[in-house]
Structure 1
Amino acid sequence: MAKTNFSYEKRQRELEKKKKAEEKARKKQDAKNSPGGEEGSAPEGDEAEEAAPRASDPV
């Protein structure tokens, strides 16, 4: 039976970890640079407008 190439598998795991770490660092940097964040945060003013009735809307 052929031996498994553990060093190849280990290298692939290391590359995957490095790729994930770089992606995480990139996302963190993007979130830091964007003004409102990236997690779907809406500006606070929009929520207040939706809750209050508008003058042009019929009651």
Structure 2
Amino acid sequence: MATPNYNYEKRQRELAKKKKKEEKLRERDARKSSPDGEFGQNPEMPPEQDPDHAQNPDGVVPAANPDQV
């Protein structure tokens, strides 16, 4: 039985990680260069929160109707 080529697998993981990082940097640069940001949102302005989607400090979303828990 052939032994696994760990060096090849490691190199492939490193290349995938590098590619993902470069894509993130390109997306970030594109958002910075766009006047409105991605999807028409201005990154300097805080997002508007809908009271129906508010979360408690512990991260639990409150139920609209307590009977539907």
TM-score interval (norm. to shorter):
0.5 to 0.7
Counterpart for residue 24 of structure 1: 24
Larger Cα-atom Rg? 1
* Structure 2 runs not aligned, ≥5 long: 43-69
How big is the shift at 1:29? 0.3
Counterpart for residue 40 of structure 2: 41
Structure with the larger RCO, 1 or 2 (CA within 8 Å, 6+ apart): 1
Give TM-score, length-normalised by structure 2: 0.57
* Structure 1 runs not aligned, ≥5 long: 44-59
Moved over 4 A (4+): none
Give TM-score, length-normalised by structure 1: 0.66
Counterpart for residue 67 of structure 2: none
Equivalent AA in structure 1 for residue 40 of structure 2: S
Task: State the aligned residue count.
Answer: 42
Residues 8, 42 of structure 1: alpha-carbon distance in 2 compared, 3 angstrom cutoff: closer
* Identical counterparts, % of pairs: 57
Supply the RMSD in Å over aligned alpha carbons. Answer: 1.6
Residues 42, 12 of structure 1: alpha-carbon distance in 2 compared, 3 angstrom cutoff: closer
